[in-house]
Structure 1
Amino acid sequence: MIVRYAQGSDLPKLAALYRQTVLVNAPEYYTHAQTQIWASFSRDADQFKQFILGVTTFVAEDDSGILGFAGIGEEGHVVSTYVRKDYLRRGVGSILMQAVLEQAREFKLKRLYAEASAFSLGLFQKLGFQIYDMEVVDRQGVEFQRYLVELNL
């Protein structure tokens, strides 16, 4: 497996991975309406491009293709962590988050923070992130509860 920076040419594959990850994993924790709204984000090409290329996004891949991605903004916001459904719980998320942590050190950040879903919360906690609050957000009239997590470096 290699970890590299995301490129514009990755966007269609990353959008498909994002959508598939949400559609497979979200139903265990979220309603059908929540899952569908969440997955639909990948269809907005401009917003998805900003989501991936507007921050530093790392991509993990092997001979089978892209395994996952994780992104961090310059201010320490971990904006994404998604792993292909057939590679869950095989260390890909941890490897991607290690790249995020290295980037944070390069940026000389003192704190990382994220809005974790119910199915990504375990990964964040495994890496030492702590829940400091919860929030409810509205997406197209559908409410979502998220965990606000942080890691002091």
Structure 2
Amino acid sequence: MMNVRVAQESDLAELAELFHQSVLSTAPQRYTPEQTVAWASTATDADRFRQLILQPTTYVVVDNTGILGFAGIAADGHIASTYVRSDRIRQGLGSTLMQVILDHASRNGIQRLYAEASEFSLGLFKKFGFYLYDTEIVERQGVQFKRYLVKRHQNQIHTQVTTEV
């Protein structure tokens, strides 16, 4: 049985470990070793990671094994994060989290959603009606990354996605 709830400060250590392990296990498929290390290190910067989780509204999916994934959305519609535990990738949790984010936006009257997607999350965003409008290069710890800028307007017609979890 899975539950979805808002992340709490007491979740930060578990979320940082989930983030770190998720990046280390998936990033090497599409990113260089230097990019992987720089990306994963976000979890070791306690202040930065705390802001990533607690400044937006971050939802977590939990079961009896712990937190399975998380996704955050800011009041301005910025989707700050979408991560799934490395042993649960490709099991519908990303879709579950995205639907939670879309429901949050709808309840709160957020009309425009936007994000900076990675190579891994771009497909998830497209699945939920986001479209790619640009790319950008950012630098983290002296390492450059290409990110995909995506957005979606809530009033656009979209197909309801159902998932089995």
Percentage of pairs with the same residue: 58
Identify the residue that residue 49 of structure 1 maps to in structure 2. Answer: 50
Give 1:127's aligned residue.
Answer: 128
Moved more, 86-95 or 10-19: 86-95
Of stretches 102-111 and 32-41 in structure 1, the one that deviates more from structure 2 is: 102-111
1:13 aligns to what? Answer: 14
**What secondary structure sits across from 1:132 in the alignment?**
strand
Shift of the alpha carbon at 1:74? 0.2
Partner of 2:138: 137
Counterparts of 1:96 and 1:122 in 2: how far apart (Å)?
14
Calculate the TM-score normalised by the size of structure 1: 0.98
Question: 1:122 Cα deviation (Å)?
Answer: 1.0
Which residue is 2:160 aligned to?
A: none
Partner deviation per Cα, 1:55-83 (whole Å, 9 max, x = no partner):
10000011111100000000000000000
1:50-108 deviations in whole A, cap 9, x for unaligned? 11011100000111111000000000000000001111111111111111111111221
Shift of 1:128: 1.0
| Alignment coverage as a number of residue pairs | 153
TM-score (norm 2): 0.91
Unaligned residue ranges in structure 2 (runs of 5+): 155-165
One-letter amino acid matched to 2:78: H
Query: Is it true that 1:92 corresponds to 2:103 in the alignment?
Result: no
What value does the CA root-mean-square deviation take over the aligned residues? 0.7
In 2, distance between residues paired with 1:39 and 1:147? 19
Give the secondary structure class of the aligned counterpart of 1:115: strand
CA distance in 1, matches of 2:122, 2:56: 21
Gaps of 5+ in 1: none
Supply the distance in 2 between the matched residues of 1:89 and 1:124 (Cα, whole angstroms): 14
